């Protein structure tokens, strides 16, 4: 689904103009970024959460030369899918 399709669907479901739906989507994106920067986490109830994670420094290997290199520590953002969303998309296996 493209951003335009998402905006149109949101506008139809909420019975608001397309311009208002676009503003809502833009604000949600800005809010998610600012919250992850400030608190390290942004939760979309029922969907998942954006989480800032500290990745440790590690040793790696240059695939072209085989030389061992040190990869520095850094911060990355991950999306963790909520259990309810995961179970709705891919139902859990039934144990026998």
Which pLDDT tens digit goes with each residue over 34-66?
999 999 999 999 999 999 999 999 999 999 999
Q: Do 56 and 20 share a structural domain?
A: no
Q: Do 49 and 95 share a structural domain?
A: yes
Q: Do 88 and 50 share a structural domain?
A: yes
Q: Do 52 and 18 share a structural domain?
A: no
Cα separation, 1 vs 7, whole angstroms: 10
Q: Do 67 and 44 share a structural domain?
A: yes
pTM exceeds cut of 0.85:
no
| Residue-range definition of the domain harbouring residue 79 | 40-96
Q: Do 96 and 58 share a structural domain?
A: yes
Closest to 78 measured CA to CA, from 24, 45, 36: 36
pLDDT band at 95 (very low <50, low <70, confident <90, very high): confident
Q: Do 48 and 28 share a structural domain?
A: no
pLDDT band at 93 (very low <50, low <70, confident <90, very high): confident
Evaluate if residue 78 carries a pLDDT over 80.
Answer: yes
How many domains does the structure of the chain reveal? 2
């Amino acid at each position: 689904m493209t951003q335009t399709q998402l905006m149109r669907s949101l506008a139809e479901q909420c019975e608001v103009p397309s311009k208002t739906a676009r503003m809502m989507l833009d604000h949600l994106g800005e809010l998610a970024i600012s919250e992850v920067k400030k608190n390290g986490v942004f939760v979309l109830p029922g969907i998942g959460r954006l989480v800032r994670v500290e990745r440790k420094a590690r040793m790696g290997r240059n695939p072209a030369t085989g030389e061992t290199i040190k990869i520095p520590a850094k911060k990355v953002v991950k999306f963790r899918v909520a259990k309810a969303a995961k179970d709705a998309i891919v139902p859990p296996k039934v144990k026998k």
